[in-house]
Amino acid sequence: MKITSLTTLLCISCITAPLANAGNEFTSLFNGKDLTGWTGSGYEVKDGAIVCTPKGKNLVTKKSYNDYVFNFEFKLPAGGNNGVGINYPGQGDPAYTGLELQVLDDTAPKYKDLKPHQFHGGIYFFKAAKKGHLKPVGEWNKETITVSGNHVKIELNGVVINEGNLDELQKQNAKHTGVKRRSGHITFCGHGDAVAYRNISIKEINLPKVDLTGFTSLYNGKDLSGWKQDPGHIGHWQPRGESLFYDSKSTAKEKNLWTEKSYKDFTLAVDWRWAGHATRRLDRPFLDPKTGGTMLDKDGKPMTKNVIELDSGIYLRGNNRSQVNLWNWPCGSGEVYGYRMNGKLSQEIRAALVPKVNADHPIGAWNRIIITMKGDRLTVVLNGETVIENAQLPGVPAEGPIALQHHGSELEFRNIAIKELK
C-alpha cells in the first residue's frame, strides 16, 4: 500500500465445454518451495509461504492476465503493509501504472488517519472497502479478487468488501494511467513488512471458440443499421466500435432493441456482459430442474439467495414470453421465465426450461450465448455448456424479429451474428 500520497450448432458439437476452456479448475501460482513463475526481489519462501523481507518491493507474475479469479491467503504482522497490484504493465509503480488493492493491518494506531481508500481492501486512489472483516494480526485471511473486464471485486473471508466499475472510477481521475488498463501482471507490492502469502491460485475466464462460418453479422460496429430505431434510443443504445453499449435509460416507449428483419429457424450467437454496478439486492429462488418450480428446504420453505439484481434477456420471434434470460439468478442465464412460470403447461415442459447448470462468468466478464430455434424447440449453449436442450415452447410464433431486451441493467453486446436454418 502507498501511504504517501458460430456452421450450426451445427457446431454446438465443436464447442468444447467452456469452463474447461475458461479454467474450470484453479491453477496454482506458488509451488510452496520457490518463486518459480514470479520475478522480482526482496521476497523469500519460508514455511510454505511467500514472505516479504525488509528489502521487499514488487513481486510480479511472469505471465500477464486479463479476466480471472485470483485466490490467496495472507497473514499480517502488527502494522503490516503490502498490496496486490492488478493490470500492471511490468514497469513503474503498480499503484499508478496499474491498480493497487490494499493489504494492510488497518487496526494499527499509526494508520488511524489514513484516507478511506487506503485501508485494507481499498482500491488505492479510488474506492474505500468495508471495514471490520480482517482476522486478528497473526492469523491467516482468505481473499478472492475477481478482475473481469471493467469490473473488480474483492472478497475477504467470505464477505464482499469492495467492488468497482473501472469505467466509472476513471472519471474520478482521468490522469491515472492504471485505471484505464484491462490486463496486465499480478503483483505483490511490498513495503518491507513481513506480510506472508500462501495457497495462491488463479482461474482464467475465457470464452469458448465458435465457428461462425455462414453467419451474418447483426451489428456493424458503427450504427444501429438493421435494428428498429426510435428517437428515444439515441444516446442510450450506443455503438462503441466492437461493442454495443446500453445504459438502461432509453426514453422510447419500447425500450428493447428489435431487429428490422423477422426470422424463422436460426442459430443466434451473442457475446454479452454486465457493464454497470447495480446496487439493488433481491432474494431470488433456486429452481428445481425436476419440476421447474422453486426448490424447497427440509421444512418446505422456498430456497432463495440474496443477489445483486442484474436482469436482461433476448426475445425470440417477436414474443416476450419466449425470452432467454440473461441474469444473475442462482440458476444462471438461459432460463425462459415466460414459459417456465406458465402453470397451464406440463411439468415436463416447464422443467426443461430450467438451466442444467449455472455457466455464467463473473459479473463484468464476457459471456457467449448460442441460441438455436428449430420449430418450437429451443437449445441454449452458454460459455460452451448446454444449459437448455431441445426444450419445447408450445405456441411460439413461427416467425418474428429478435430483441435485445431492456430490464434496468447496463450491459454490452458484441459479436452479434445469426445463421438462418432451412
Report, as an integer, the average pLDDT of 325-339: 95
Instruction: Output the pLDDT for position 279.
Output: 66
pLDDT at 277: 65
Query: Does the pLDDT value for residue 217 go beyond 50?
Result: yes
* Cβ 395 vs Cβ 260: under 8 Å: no
Q: 16 pLDDT exceeds 80?
A: no
Residues 278-293 have a mean pLDDT of 88
Q: How confident is the model at residue 20 (pLDDT cuts 50, 70, 90)?
A: very low
Give me the pLDDT at residue 11, please. Answer: 34
DSSP conformational letter for 128:
P
Mean confidence (pLDDT) of the chain: 90
Mean pLDDT of 34-54: 97
pLDDT at position 362? 86
3-class state of residue 340 by DSSP: helix
Domain ranges of the chain: 23-204, 216-420
Q: What is the DSSP letter of 231?
A: G
pTM of the model: 0.73
Least confident of 10-14, 23-27, 163-167, 362-366: 10-14
112 vs 417 pLDDT, higher one: 417
> Between vectors from CA 350 to CA 348 and to CA 322, what angle results, nearest 5°?
135
How far apart are the C-alpha atoms of 288 and 303, rounded to whole Å?
Answer: 10
Q: Is 276 or 83 the better-scoring residue by pLDDT?
A: 83
CA distances from 75 to 82, 105, 153, 168, 215 (A): 11, 9, 20, 32, 52
Identical fold between 23-204 and 216-420:
yes
Q: For 170-179, what is each residue's pLDDT tens digit?
A: 999 888 999 9
What CA–CA distance (Å, rounded) separates 301 from 285? 11
Question: Which grid coordinates belong to 388?
Answer: 437448455
Superfamily of domain 23-204 in CATH is Exo-inulinase; domain 1 (2.60.120.560)
State percent of the chain over pLDDT 70.
Answer: 94
Q: What is the pLDDT of residues 350-405, one digit of tens each?
A: 999 999 999 999 888 899 999 999 999 999 999 999 999 999 999 999 999 999 99
Superfamily for the 216-420 domain: Exo-inulinase; domain 1 (2.60.120.560)
Q: How many CB atoms lie within 10 A of CB 351?
A: 18
